[in-house]
Structure 1
Amino acid sequence: MNRLATFTAGGKTRYGAITDKGVIDLSARYSQWPTLREVIEAGALRRLAEEAEAFAADFPLDAIAYDIPIPSPEKIICVGVNYPDRNEEYKDGQAAPANPSLFIRFPRSFVGHGAPLVRPPESPQLDYEGEIVIVIGKGGRRIAETEALGHIAALSLCNEGTIRDWVRHAKFNVTQGKNFDCTGSIGPWLVPFTDEAQIADIALSTRVNGELRQQDRTSRMIFPFRKIITYISTFTTLVPGDIIVTGTPTGAGARFDPPVWLKPGDVIEVEADGIGVLRNSVVDEAAP
């Protein structure tokens, strides 16, 4: 099935299908839906992915710049400590908690595939976290686990970049270190969700300059996709286009001795079976 992306071409933001023959501009053909968020709300994501087969490419692959797939999502909710080895990194002797740890990120803290992550002048401690993303298709509140997967529209990838010392600026929150502008990425595209087999045992890995740093499988997640959706929807209403970032394996730069932070020129690749590769370089923030 075709992959659907939000991208900029010819100075205009568009959405379309990414295919071997090039990029098909679906936003020009389905003007009733201004963005992929409205496509998802209409329940039409899989339909567009299938119908794109009938169209010729409008742009070569190297003529576009990727944006994050869902423009202006209402919510980006991230799950922390969701793999067993990641929990053990804390060395606190505690078993995995009964409920997931959650925090919120703002859309402008992310860039698209191929755009550089930006290291801010406030800290050199820019770190990587490769993760699987689920995008909500059907909204709901207090969603039962048995019904949860029916609320997923698509899958994507995230490099949940973090400024490590800024997650310890206060007593108990991580918001600051997770929300510096342009420190993470989401993409490159959306893969329409089909069934549970598609997500049951995804191999997820992160490489920095070609070196494997993180590797695990979704079958080992402490809180599986069903539990995450049910838990979050207990306290907030999920809506179409909401993004849930589902947790990173062990192996981030902060866990090296000494820590290894990202620096300008580094290239980070997050890869997952059936989804693709999310690739970004690193630059320092330009002086004002």
Structure 2
Amino acid sequence: MAEPVTTLRDASQSASIALPANDQRGALTIEYRWLNPRFADAPLAVFLHEGLGSVAMWKDWPQTLCDRLGMRGLVYSRPGYGRSTPRPHDAKLAVDFMSVQARDVLPALLDALEVNAAERKRMWLIGHSDGGSITLLYAAAFPNSLAGAVAIAPHVFVEDISVASIAEAKTAYEESDLRAKLARHHDDVDSAFYGWNDVWLSDAFRSWNIVDELDCIRCPLLAVQGYDDHYGSMAQIDTIAQRASQTELAKLDRCGHSPHRDAPDALNDAIVAFIGKHNASAGI
């Protein structure tokens, strides 16, 4: 059963989730927001944010997309981000932190919100950057419990361009107004930033790779990348298509790492066409 929810200052809600017994973090509070809840019989789209994202940082893009799709939506802030339970400052993220989010945290949130098995079979995941990688990992872990997935600027292995840009982000955070800007969206901005930045810049993370797991994905999959992305190259989504043959690719001109901000019309058109086609063929 879902725990009682409390209203947060940005009109989101919170839910308490229980993680596996061997997880030392105990219960976590997750910030979330429903979109178009009046569409009770419509499929659900779940949005997974980037490495420094949150419910608020999506702004109105998930709502705009759900309106075009005629679907319900769920946006949430992962632990350590937004108004969700912050990461303790002395706790480093493990190299497999994205796998933990896919296998444990997201299923626990869906359980808490009483999204049942039938709803999950009709559900779409839409993830950006680290959220795109978590989308792929969830699709691989639960191949029979998902209508389809959209991975936007995902990572499936570590590239030099990614590490260089993340190192530049650290300099910007410490020497510019980036910290102040992010602080508007996270209860503990240092926890959010350094949790993400430290693990990506660690020596151990250079060997992180989820390519083999792509073989387990069975659902329809759209992979999107901008040609001007400074956090990853087209090799990321080309690799996905090589390992999951049902993948369709959308390569966007004049678009950097955030297609929902850089090229929203082109991105929305690609997603609406893709999801509409597959929902229709599945009778959803």
- TM-score category, normalised to shorter length: under 0.3
> Quick check: which one's helix share is greater?
2
The TM-score normalised by the length of structure 1 is 0.24
The TM-score normalised by the length of structure 2 is 0.24
> Quick check: which one's strand share is greater?
1
Work out which structure has the larger RCO, using CA pairs closer than 8 Å and 6 or more positions apart in sequence: 1
